[in-house]
Amino acid sequence: MTTGAAVLEVTDLRVRLGGVDVVDGVSFALAAGERVGLIGESGSGKSLTALAVLGLLPPGASVTGSVRLHGRELLGGSDRELSRLRGRDLAMIFQEPSTALNPLMRVGRQISEPLRLHRGYSRQAAARAAVELAAAVGLPDPQRLVRSYPHELSGGQRQRVCIAAALACRPAMLLADEPTTALDVTVQAEILALLGRLVDDTGTALLFITHDLAVVAAGTDRLAVLRRGRVVETGATDDVLRAPADPYTRALLAAARLTQGDLPAAGGGAVAPTARGSDVPTPASEATTTGTIA
């Protein structure tokens, strides 16, 4: 349960594709600054839930229910209305950064593109903001790196570029779909810590979609367990991982073989990746523009 006013409320969400209810009555809510994990095996409906929130379902899919962002209904909205929200109020980090980025565009332009589209930044202001955002997500030598192309970066660096672009407009809601799966274990830990800091700094609500229980143990406050398109268990991350109520959740835990060190600190919710900081400042070049987060 959220502790404050909900940023995102999903109620009885149903997605039908190919005659099958691939998402079947899913409901959850997130408050500002909250990190919620949506977990389940491949094919459980996790990614389709996120795409339904964004209004990016594949052709032939039908959707019913309710998706509200700050109380505003998104389902049934026009493509034009939703395109205004995506990147500004709603943003997503995809699993594979090499396919999410345009290989023919310098990464600095890709980082700052949301600011030009949604905030009206000039080319010069956007270029300055790209350097600031690249530095904020821990990219080395940001002045040089923003002039690079995606193929010149490592996988972890490309994912940091995607994170910088997603958070450029300080969206109210961030969806991260398996953002660490394609990375090695060391880089995974760095990206998780980075996301934790950035969410804390900006107050953005985070829906973290993954099949990896060790990831949600370290980076979320609450969990929703999805099986065959239905939520079978919800609760605080600590409670669900230490005392799962549903047999499916218990099976996931048994398969994951989590050790005691992987679990959240007792009574403390999710392990905070790092102390709060000021990693994502509002770009200095943003003179009169205010973001979604107050």
Return the CATH number at 250. 3.40.50.300
- pLDDT tens, residue by residue, 154-184: 999 999 999 999 999 999 999 999 888 777 8
Predicted local distance difference test score (pLDDT) of residue 258: 62
Name the 3-class secondary structure at 99: helix
Indicate whether 219 belongs to any domain. yes
The answer to whether the CB of 162 falls within 8 A of the CB of 100 is yes
Indicate whether 98 belongs to any domain. no
The total number of structural domains in the chain stands at 1
d(Cα 47, Cα 179) in Å, to the nearest integer?
12
Predicted local distance difference test score (pLDDT) of residue 259: 57
DSSP state of 285: T
Indicate whether 276 belongs to any domain. no
Predicted local distance difference test score (pLDDT) of residue 184: 81
> How many CB atoms lie under 10 A from the CB of residue 227?
21
- pLDDT tens, residue by residue, 227-252: 999 999 999 999 999 999 999 999 99
Indicate whether 199 belongs to any domain. no
Indicate whether 56 belongs to any domain. yes
Indicate whether 235 belongs to any domain. yes
Domain span including residue 57: 1-89+174-182+209-262
Indicate whether 193 belongs to any domain. no
Residue 195 predicted with pLDDT over 80: yes
Indicate whether 80 belongs to any domain. yes
